[in-house]
Structure 1
């Protein structure tokens, strides 16, 4: 029933206060539940991508028939299903890691490798912020229809699902440095092309196919990196730091900055700045290897 910015902002903060803990806890539980199985984490994570597609498609259909007021009841229905699902979770005990178990969470967090990872994750999600907020607006401004925009967004999610299903073991076969390097190179290319060549359809198709690298592959690497940096005792806290600092703070500041820059310099330059952030992350990553 809220119709003012102030009350909506307070409600959003209240929801975020409780909702923000869910992602790190579920990721930690997912990693722990498959530790003795030959199943990559991404086989579980793909459920989120499939759920996203189902939710968007079904809610869009319902909005067309019942109007925007149907959104809140649908969200509550999905949250109720999630609540019921939690009663079927059987949490496993965590393994003790002798070399890290004696260390405190703060000391692990202050380690150079941890700081480097969180900075890179922060920059990665900051570079994605203009896409998350203004991609549809940008495409509409260059003449794409709502149906075309929806299909392009769906293509990115489909590529994400494909990688999660069939590329789960990539992080074990290649060095994490090389995978992150690929993610930031593709990010710089993707955002630059989206900014300046959005009117060319095949270019947009290519950039959406890169979504499986810039987002999905980086998320896979991040989950693996958190698992290596923090023992199971601190798995939830490590995932929480990743969610809060990278996804929350990085993505949040990126969205706010993109909103102001959109009015000041225009859409193409906003995506160019996003590409520059990927380049900055690339330089930091490359430099960290040469300083060792």
Structure 2
């Protein structure tokens, strides 16, 4: 990955608040052009503090950050027209209509999209004359996104983009983010919806207590965690009869096997079941999901085990 392809670069980034609390403890990130990068973490992990540094909303206590080759805080005039930001709360005047809000924002945005295009892009064209205070929570998030995209940014920061959206709205937002990435836009998002990160992210980083504790593609992160085989044994067959090589835990007749070698252990289980004439009801074998990997990482970091 060369610096020519890096759109967001952070090295040893730290952020310490008054009183000595260090929210970001020295992270390094690289995000390439056209990539969707997800920043994940438990509450208080330092995600929002990190993104604010990348957006140029605050200076780092230590370390360096570059967005499109510039320091986003000290060279804000060079960076701000080329990025879009969707914060957790838009804070728009509630008595303005949707159309009036977009026009107001367009007056402060270079090369703003036409009103109709901006609203159609996020599915709000039919709500143009509705006052902001009459919008649902999901519609307000769509308006936030419309304004973040208004200036046709090269880099888009999305902070919890699908909060408040119904399942259909969430899927539509995902499709829009994918299309923007395919057009060359770089997207950095934070989200509590791990399915969202798994669906959208080319790469991701998981933060805990101000540090990046895991990173890579979703497949790489999940591959580092055990796969799982679950099934129910018939009456009269105890887990003690399973092959000794299978590390199994049982809750009654329901058995769960955690494995680092899914294909090998599943094959061994099926051969044993056939030879023993045992039916495995509800058999389910799968690699770890991102949610399982995330929870496992969080538990490991908390307990140190």
Larger of the two Rg values belongs to structure: 2
More helix by share: 1
Larger relative contact order (Cα-Cα within 8 Å, sequence gap ≥ 6)? 1
Q: Same fold (TM over 0.5)?
A: no
| TM-score of the aligned structures, taking structure 1 as reference length | 0.22
Give the TM-score, by structure 2 length.
Answer: 0.22
